[in-house]
């Protein structure tokens, strides 16, 4: 790939990231990492702090502090699971509303970066992106990291990040399957 193409892709990725970050903060008051925690917990009700910290790239103690903040804001709940040391996490109704606002704002910010393209070009670009995502096999937990701000229900039964059911099948048994703790 020519260096100018690399620069162009890098610039687009940064523009999308910056626009998304600003939109999420404006809509929710949360950082993208805090929103990602909410979305992951919503996508995987009953997940553990261990499962979450592995997908957010945080230390265990960093994830606990993040959950503390989200719980103080009334966005997540913790519950002890009988016979286990780990707590299970769930999103509160208020957290659902905040997650919806954040994901919607992120989506609008991303769409705004593609506004200059005619509809047919946009469709072709999105098709190429999906093909690119499907072209590489990856473990489910790596897909979870990349999909930390996604609504997994929209990718069922065929997530472009893997060749497994993304979300629905994984949600049924937190702690089971690849990468779950």
Q: Is the pLDDT of residue 175 over 60?
A: no
Q: Tokens 């089971």 — which residue?
A: 176
CATH number at residue 88: 1.10.10.10
Under a CB-based contact definition with an 8 Å cutoff, are residues 142 and 57 in contact? no
* pLDDT for residue 61: 94
pTM value is: 0.79
Is 132 part of any domain? Answer: yes
* Residue 10 domain boundaries: 3-171
* pLDDT for residue 162: 67
The total number of structural domains in the chain stands at: 1
Is 177 part of any domain? Answer: no
- Residue range 96-138, pLDDT digits in tens: 999 999 999 999 999 999 998 999 999 999 899 888 888 877 7
Is 157 part of any domain? Answer: yes
The three-state secondary structure class of 86 is coil
Arithmetic mean of pLDDT over the chain: 84
How far, CA to CA in Å, does 30 sit from each of 24, 34, 78?
7, 6, 19
* pLDDT for residue 167: 42
- Residue range 42-78, pLDDT digits in tens: 999 999 999 999 999 999 999 999 999 999 999 999 9
Under a CB-based contact definition with an 8 Å cutoff, are residues 86 and 48 in contact? yes
Is 181 part of any domain? Answer: no
């Amino acid at each position: 790939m020519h260096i100018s193409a690399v620069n162009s892709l890098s610039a687009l990725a940064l523009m999308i990231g910056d626009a998304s970050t600003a939109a999420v903060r404006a809509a929710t008051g949360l950082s993208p990492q805090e929103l990602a925690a909410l979305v992951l917990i919503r996508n995987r009700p009953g997940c553990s702090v261990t499962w979450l910290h592995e997908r957010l790239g945080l230390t265990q103690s960093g994830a606990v502090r993040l959950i503390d903040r989200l719980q103080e804001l009334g966005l997540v709940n913790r519950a002890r699971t009988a016979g286990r040391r780990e707590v299970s996490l769930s999103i509160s109704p208020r957290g659902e509303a905040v997650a919806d606002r954040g994901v919607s704002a992120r989506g609008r910010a991303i769409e705004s970066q593609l506004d200059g393209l005619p509809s047919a070009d946009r469709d072709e670009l999105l098709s190429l992106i999906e093909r690119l995502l499907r072209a590489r096999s990856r473990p489910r937990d790596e897909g979870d990291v990349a999909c930390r701000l996604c609504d997994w229900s929209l990718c069922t039964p065929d997530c472009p990040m893997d060749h497994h059911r993304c979300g629905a099948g994984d949600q049924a048994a937190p702690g089971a399957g690849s990468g779950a703790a």
